[in-house]
Structure 1
Amino acid sequence: MPSLSSPAPIAVIAARLDAGPTARALQACSERLAPAGYYLATAPWQEQAVLPLLDGLRPAAALVVGPLEAPALRAALSALEIPVVETWIASPQTLDSAVAIDNAEAGRTAARHLAERRHP
């Protein structure tokens, strides 16, 4: 674990940072990670010109919001050999781990709940 005097970056890979749910999730992550000596590092990592900077950042981990589809970005993250957590929508083949909602199961659960309550 990094010390507070030398915090370690966690690379954030997200298409948009200003969307309501994304912004709230990143704020919550930042608040939880800061006391442990980590900070979130954002950049347009999907862009080819910026991608080499990811290696130079030497992130402790990567937090991916949304699908991780760009082959060059997937390869760069894989080469870093760091923990990668994919959120919202997991790739069919996650690099490391995923925290995602199964929308089909959520729909079935909601339908069951409404059917059981028999609302008029």
Structure 2
Amino acid sequence: MAYATGQLPTGFGTDVFGNFLDGSPNVVLVPIPAYPGPPAIPWAFTWVSLAAENGTAKIRYALYNDVIRDWQVGFVVVDHKKGLVGLPIREHDSIVSLARVPQDSGNTLDTAPVSWIVQAVLQG
């Protein structure tokens, strides 16, 4: 098994509708092992999960697929009381973009610590 982990920066990367804020440094791009992997690295399964330590955060994710050459965009709410939130990884997804989103128009502060983890398992 291989894995990588990191944190989302505090502050919003998008508006309430998921549109990127110009010049925002608060968008994280994470490369993920595409499965099935190339013959040299035969990945069997890949997971991307999010977790919050305190509070909740709304996250916009976008998964890039190498075969269809398009982004699948969605939103999840990460709540520290509910544990890990998995993203819907498809075959040949290779990049995930993550950004915090205001939960409503009056939401001006988003400081809940949110971490991401990418896990991959080899075939066989």
What's the TM-score, normalizing by structure 1?
0.26
Identify the structure with the greater helix proportion. Answer: 1
Q: What TM-score, normalized to structure 2?
A: 0.26
Which structure has greater strand proportion? 2
Higher relative contact order (CA 8 A, sep 6+): 2
Larger-Rg structure: 1
